[in-house]
Amino acid sequence: MSAIAQPVSTTAARPERKPSGWSQLKLLLPYVFHYKRMVAFGLLALALTGLAGALPQLIIGAITDCLQASPLPLSTLSGTARALLHPLFAFYAPMSRHAVGLYCIILVVVMLVKGFFSFWTRWILIGVSREIEYDLRNDLLTRLLVLDPEFYSRNRTGDLMSRVTNDLNAVRMVLGPGIMYTANTIATSVLAVYFMTKLSVPLTLWVLLPVPLVVVSVWYFGQVIHRLSVQIQAALGVLSTRAQENLTGVRVIRAYVQEKPEIESFDRANRDYVDTNIKLIGSWSLFFPALAALIGLTIMILLGMGGVEVVDHRVSLGTFLAFYSFLIQLVFPMIAIGFVTNIFQRGAASMGRLNYVLNAQPNIQDAPSAQTEAPKGSAGGNGRGHERAAEESRGGQSDIRGEIEFRHLTFSYPTGPTGAPGPAVLRDINLRVPAGSTLAIVGPTGSGKSTLAALIARLWEAPPGTLLIDGRPIREYSLETLRRSIGFVPQDTFLFSETLRENIAFGVEDSAEEHILEAVEIAGIAGEIQSFPARFDTMVGERGITLSGGQKQRTSLARAILRQPRILVLDDSLSSVDTDTEERILRGLREVMRQRTTILIAHRISTVKGADQIIVMRDGQVIERGSHDELLSLGGYYADLYQKQLLEEELERE
């Protein structure tokens, strides 16, 4: 887990105990139980594969004894095992061509049956792992969409992307190959050891002597692999973050000629990732030779002790060959132990990083008694989530009238190192905005204007009782009800990598063509859209890169207008357009604003002078309030700003 994503321990004396790999992976059990029938069929097919896989060794032993003219096939095999295999030995005859031919045919049939069940084992279990991967990916996105801005202020985008891609793939490997190879190892080992003990208990005890060494090796290397896997996934998160930031900010990097420093920074992150992987490869490289040495030791013991047993005629050559075949069959499970150990340790490390996201809880949630409007439409949407019917989405059925009141509001962002509130950015705000009126907010940068707007949409949580909508605390409304009643045009305009039509109609299902045309006309971008070759089907590129700043702002404005919300929040949404275009847009907006409560944040006096109420903010406080004429008569900040902008306009005309 990256340092930025690590939860901070509240106990200084005793460091928090790191969760074990199993405690991380056990959270996958509900996903596995969801597909319990498929998993059961897959494990049944795997068990049948193991049973079919045990027969070839016995058949080969019987053929060898037949060729050696032994009176009895696998003479040391006794008890239940021989009783179960009686049909196989029923037609045994020493030195019989007919018997050898039948055994060869049976051997081919058994291998075909084993292949058949092996196919279904992989088809089912690997298929289940892909289905669980699908569910996990959906759950991760669902969780990421409901988490509030505080979470994203404490976690980098590249690291989160690494978690939902690379870490998710590592977890899928646990659910697919990890479970399959583990179950196969258990089934194969149990059957092999069972028949080995039935063939010769002393030889079985001799060849199992190195097993404790295998267990110790697996435990030791498993700890090392888990620790390095955690470091690797964290390093990959840092590397993904560097790549994502460089790609997103490539124009800034070029403008400031920072290609070389950024390449060097990426190189350091890349080297750290590679070096950690090399450490893992070193441990991995020691693990397999250690297992190979133990396997070689086991085979040497068998050849030595088993050879003596054959020479002394205590076991037949066929029995020895069958025993040897079972031992060779155990080689793959012993190797698979190393492979599975790596899969599970990597998966446990990755699942820990995914659990960080899945277990994260948004601080902004619906209260148990939150008012929720009954939906009048059906689920649907334009590909980005579930939406109401078009009529509902356009705000026609909302019970919210739009009266907004702040009562002694003091707010601090909870983005400190431990999640504690930082310095206050809003101080003792008392303000009432009647429904259907327009409030304009002006003030210097950093005065808290955008924060005030974000609190209305509950993007950040205001202290209890300090923010009311229609006379009710804002927390008494569900997030869906509240946000469906708000059209928000943020200062940082964001467009999806889709067409203009899809961006404008975002959040509105089945929007009529005339409504889209009306919205873009009011936003002052209709003429430019009509000049594009593809018009509304023009792809805007990532974050709207193919559009100018003013075009992006007006597209975002059209998106908010199309929703027909009760409350319209325009956070400096006309800053990138010229004054003539701004005046044209404001004329179109007057009819829209007359029907709803409007919060208008701007730096230009020309934008806000027609508002019913204007407030001036500085250092998180309201220092002036009134209408345009009242504020001019005060001769304060607003009047000074107005005079400066008049002078600038005169200089521009000259």
At residue 44, the pLDDT reads 92
Is the same domain home to 200 and 258?
Answer: yes
Q: Taking residues 123-149, what's their average pLDDT?
A: 89
At residue 363, the pLDDT reads 83
Is the same domain home to 525 and 625?
Answer: yes
For residue 230, the 8-state DSSP code is H
Residue 614 falls inside a structural domain: yes
Is the same domain home to 399 and 333?
Answer: no
Residue 374 falls inside a structural domain: no
Is the same domain home to 547 and 598?
Answer: yes
Is the same domain home to 469 and 337?
Answer: no
For residue 326, the 8-state DSSP code is H
Distance CA(321)–CA(94), nearest Å, equals: 17
At residue 17, the pLDDT reads 55
At residue 364, the pLDDT reads 83
Residue 504, pLDDT > 60, answer yes
Per-residue burial over 101-128, b if 16 or more Cβ lie within 10 Å, else e, is ebbeebbeebeebbeebbebbbebbbeb
| Dihedral pair phi/psi, residue 620, rounded to 5° | 80, 10
Residue 334, pLDDT > 90, answer no
At residue 120, the pLDDT reads 92
Is the same domain home to 221 and 289?
Answer: yes
Among candidate residues 75, 317, 305, the one with its CA nearest the CA of residue 202? 305
Residue 637, pLDDT > 50, answer yes
Cβ atoms of 450 and 491 closer than 8 Å: yes
Q: How confident is the model at residue 427 (pLDDT cuts 50, 70, 90)?
A: very high
Residue 166 falls inside a structural domain: no
Please give the structure tokens belonging to residue 641: 């700003």
Please give the structure tokens belonging to residue 586: 């404001």
* Structural element, H or E, at residue 629: helix 628-634
Residue 469, pLDDT > 60, answer yes
Distance CA(349)–CA(268), nearest Å, equals: 23
Q: How confident is the model at residue 341 (pLDDT cuts 50, 70, 90)?
A: confident
At residue 467, the pLDDT reads 93
Q: How confident is the model at residue 372 (pLDDT cuts 50, 70, 90)?
A: low
State how many domains the chain has: 2
Amino acid at 122: R
Taking the model in full, what pTM does it have?
Answer: 0.72
Per-residue burial over 580-606, b if 16 or more Cβ lie within 10 Å, else e, is eebeebbebbeebbeebbbbbbbbbbb
At residue 586, the pLDDT reads 81
Q: How confident is the model at residue 349 (pLDDT cuts 50, 70, 90)?
A: confident
Residue 375 falls inside a structural domain: no
Q: What CATH number is associated with residue 220? A: 1.20.1560.10
Token pair 């003479």 is found at 75
Distance CA(533)–CA(550), nearest Å, equals: 19
Is the same domain home to 428 and 344?
Answer: no
Distance CA(541)–CA(227), nearest Å, equals: 41
Domain that holds residue 441: 390-653
Residue 481 falls inside a structural domain: yes
Q: Bridge partners of 601?
A: 441, 571
Check residues 290 and 616 and name the one with the higher pLDDT: 616
Q: Bridge partners of 624?
A: 616
| Dihedral pair phi/psi, residue 146, rounded to 5° | -100, -10
Residue 324, pLDDT > 60, answer yes
- Of 340, 358, 376, which marks where a domain is finished? 358
Residue 629, pLDDT > 50, answer yes
Among candidate residues 498, 550, 489, 555, the one with its CA nearest the CA of residue 522? 555
Is the same domain home to 431 and 476?
Answer: yes
Q: Taking residues 267-284, what's their average pLDDT?
A: 84
At residue 13, the pLDDT reads 38
Cβ atoms of 596 and 568 closer than 8 Å: yes
Q: Please, what is the average pLDDT of the chain?
A: 80
Residue 145 falls inside a structural domain: no
Cα 346 versus chain centre, distance: 17
Distance CA(592)–CA(43), nearest Å, equals: 63
Range list of H helices, 147-210: 149-154, 157-162, 168-173, 179-199, 201-207
At residue 398, the pLDDT reads 54
pLDDT (tens digit, 9 = 90+) per residue, 100-122?
888 899 889 999 998 999 899 98
pLDDT (tens digit, 9 = 90+) per residue, 223-274?
777 778 778 877 877 887 788 778 777 777 777 777 888 888 888 888 888 8
Q: Bridge partners of 524?
A: none
Is the same domain home to 397 and 342?
Answer: no
pLDDT (tens digit, 9 = 90+) per residue, 526-580?
888 888 888 888 888 777 777 888 888 888 888 888 888 889 898 887 777 777 7
Is the same domain home to 405 and 349?
Answer: no
pLDDT (tens digit, 9 = 90+) per residue, 150-208?
888 788 877 888 888 888 888 888 888 888 888 888 888 888 888 888 888 888 888 77
Distance CA(280)–CA(286), nearest Å, equals: 10
At residue 410, the pLDDT reads 92
Residue 156 falls inside a structural domain: no
Flag the least confident range among 273-277, 282-286, 402-406, 583-587: 282-286
Q: What CATH number is associated with residue 634? A: 3.40.50.300
Is the same domain home to 327 and 433?
Answer: no
> How far lies 44's CA from each of 48, 127, 194, 318, in Å?
6, 15, 19, 31
Is the same domain home to 352 and 411?
Answer: no
Check residues 427 and 416 and name the one with the higher pLDDT: 427
At residue 623, the pLDDT reads 92
pLDDT (tens digit, 9 = 90+) per residue, 43-98?
999 889 888 888 888 888 888 888 877 887 877 777 777 788 888 888 788 888 88
Residue 147 falls inside a structural domain: no
Query: If DSSP codes are grouped into helix, strand and coil, which group holds residue 247?
Result: helix
| Residues whose CB falls within 8 Å of the CB of residue 548, separated by 6 or more in sequence, listed in order | 576
